[in-house]
Amino acid sequence: MTEVFDWRSAPPAEYAVIGDPVHHSLSPRMHTAAFEALGLRERYVAVHITPEEVGEALDHLRELGYRGINVTVPHKLAALEWSVKKDPFAVRANAANTLRLQDRACINTDGPGFMETVRQAGVSGSEVLMLGAGGSARAVALALVEGGFHVQVWNRTRARAEELCAMVGYGCSVASLPVLAGYALILNTTSASLSGDRLPIDWKQADPETLAYDLAYGDGPTPFLQDAREFGIRGLDGRALLVEQGALSFEWWHGGEAPREAMRRAIG
Ligand code: NDP
């Protein structure tokens, strides 16, 4: 379990991940491994901030000399609002996950990081079924549509899928039922596996070349990926995204190339 500091008692450090909760984050372990791999004497910690205190806490961390912050749930919108220099993709996604405190600049590395993992995995077409329409779905759907994919969104609560597609615009539409046939990529952005729930999907319908991608990750394959594997469908879990979004944050802060292999090894 990651050691978590309240923002008022944040220790001397250069980087941090902030969230509420934040104890589950693997970012401190991953970035610390990156610093060690490059011989950098820098420290990355986990800092707990409640939603009402994000602005005040970021000002405080800046005064303490923190340089960069990764932002996790539920602070990505508040981080965007705190920033003065805003990357256009972060503005379109309405979410910032990476901050540079000195000049109050922000970017969103979730969208570009996700697209890089899709490029590396290789997909055989442009049709995507996205299951879920929560906070992380937004940047991912936007990046997919801007990358030329067509995204059908199915969500347990249909109104949220409609809201997401209205935000993303052309290239995104709502699916009434999660029918798996005809997609090059079937993407799970729900948190169903965190509660041990199974999604109402039938892998028999899926094309054999489909890539099953679950943003969640656990000690072994997630239930979503286990089920896909039983039908011979290849899969990718959320560790791929965790490493790539973290590597892009690292590169934006440091300028050089991130040691991805060391970061991957650190999170198992
Ligand atoms: P949110 O809470 O914002 O959204 C949760 C989504 O899951 C909603 O669409 C919700 O549907 C749906 N959902 C929850 N439970 C069920 C269920 N039992 N059956 C069907 N749908 C369900 O979460 P996030 O978007 O922040 O995170 C989603 C997942 O992505 C998590 O597993 C998280 O760990 C992972 N993640 C991974 C990252 C990485 O770096 N790999 C980065 C960010 C997230 P409804 O609207 O109906 O409630």
Q: Is the CB of 117 under 6 A from ligand 1?
A: no
Q: Is the CB of 188 under 6 A from ligand 1?
A: no
Nearest CA residue ID for atom 17, ligand 1: 192
- Can you tell me the mean pLDDT for 6-28? 96
pLDDT at 86 over 80: yes
Which ligand 1 atom sits nearest the alpha carbon of residue 137? 25
| Dist. CA 247–CA 98, nearest whole Å | 11
Spatial contact of 119 and 184, defined as CB atoms under 8 Å apart:
no
Which residue bears the tokens 């405080």? 60
pLDDT at 194 over 80: no
Cα three-residue angle 159-50-268, rounded to 5 degrees: 80
**Best residue among 138, 190, 264 to mutate for probing ligand 1, ranked by most atoms within 8 Å of CB:** 190
- Can you tell me the mean pLDDT for 227-233? 96
Q: Considering the entire predicted model, what is its pTM?
A: 0.95
pLDDT at 21 over 90: yes
* pLDDT tens digit sequence for 116-160: 999 999 998 999 999 999 888 999 999 999 999 999 999 999 999
Spatial contact of 205 and 231, defined as CB atoms under 8 Å apart:
no
Tokens in use for 34? 């990156």
Residue 2: CB atoms within 10 A of its CB come to 14
Q: Is the CB of 137 under 6 A from ligand 1?
A: yes
> Bridge partners of 234?
211
Which ligand 1 atom sits nearest the alpha carbon of residue 113? 40
Nearest CA residue ID for atom 16, ligand 1: 192
pLDDT at 84 over 80: yes
Ligand 1 centroid to 209 CA: how many Å?
25
How much is the pLDDT for 2? 82
Ligand 1 centroid to 130 CA: how many Å?
11
Ligand 1 centroid to 253 CA: how many Å?
28
* pLDDT tens digit sequence for 173-188: 999 999 999 999 999 9
* Sheet strands (E) in the chain: 4-6, 15-19, 44-48, 68-71, 85-86, 98-100, 105-107, 127-131, 150-154, 172-174, 185-188, 211-214, 234-236
